[in-house]
């Protein structure tokens, strides 16, 4: 009991606690920003790879449907909400297939303030020449 009273009245280390309390909101904001940047980076990488894979498969098979399916399959295998948050377009012009992929990534409510405007979509496009098969 006597040690508890002495511990409660001990003022050593209080300045460190005050500094920690002041810096805690900034540390939290930094962690949320780092998490959001990670989400954006992973989303962009998946979109790039999906567009390339779609163009590659579409060029081999000569089909826009196969290209869209390949891009969607790659996206679904990595991002759980790919089906609802992505759009894949494929077209063939002059023997070149172009696959464009757009994905809307989740955004933390911390960044939905009006004065902090970050994009919510990433996009990539890839083109390849359609193979001529005998």
Report the number of secondary-structure helices (H) and strands (E) in the chain: 4, 3
SS3 category, 75 = helix
pLDDT for res 35: 85
| pTM tops 0.75 | yes
pLDDT band, very low/low/confident/very high, at 37 (cuts 50, 70, 90): confident
Q: Are 130 and 92 in contact (CB under 8 A)?
A: yes
Q: What is the mean pLDDT of residues 59-74?
A: 94
pLDDT of residue 2: 67
Compute the average pLDDT of residues 10-24.
78
**pLDDT, tens digit, 9 for 90 and up, residues 79-118:** 989 999 999 999 999 999 999 999 998 776 665 555 666 6
Cα–Cα dist 8/21, whole Å: 19
Burial code (b: 16+ CB inside 10 Å, e: under 16) for 108-123 equals eeeeeeeeeeeeeebe
Of 133, 113, 127, which Cα lies nearest the Cα of 64?
127
Between helices 14-61 and 64-78, what is the axis angle to 10°?
A: 160
């Amino acid at each position: 009991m006597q040690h508890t009273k002495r511990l409660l009245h001990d003022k050593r280390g209080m300045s460190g606690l005050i500094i920690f309390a002041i810096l805690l909101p900034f540390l939290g904001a930094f962690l949320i920003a780092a998490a959001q940047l990670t989400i954006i980076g992973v989303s962009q990488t998946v979109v790039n790879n999906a567009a390339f894979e779609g163009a590659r498969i579409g060029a081999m098979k000569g089909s826009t449907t196969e290209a869209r399916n390949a891009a969607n399959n790659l996206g679904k295998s990595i991002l759980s909400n790919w089906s609802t948050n992505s759009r894949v377009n494929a077209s063939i012009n002059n023997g070149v297939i172009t696959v464009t992929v757009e994905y809307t990534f989740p955004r933390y409510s911390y960044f939905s303030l009006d004065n902090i405007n970050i994009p919510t979509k990433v996009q990539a496009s890839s083109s390849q020449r359609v193979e001529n098969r005998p």
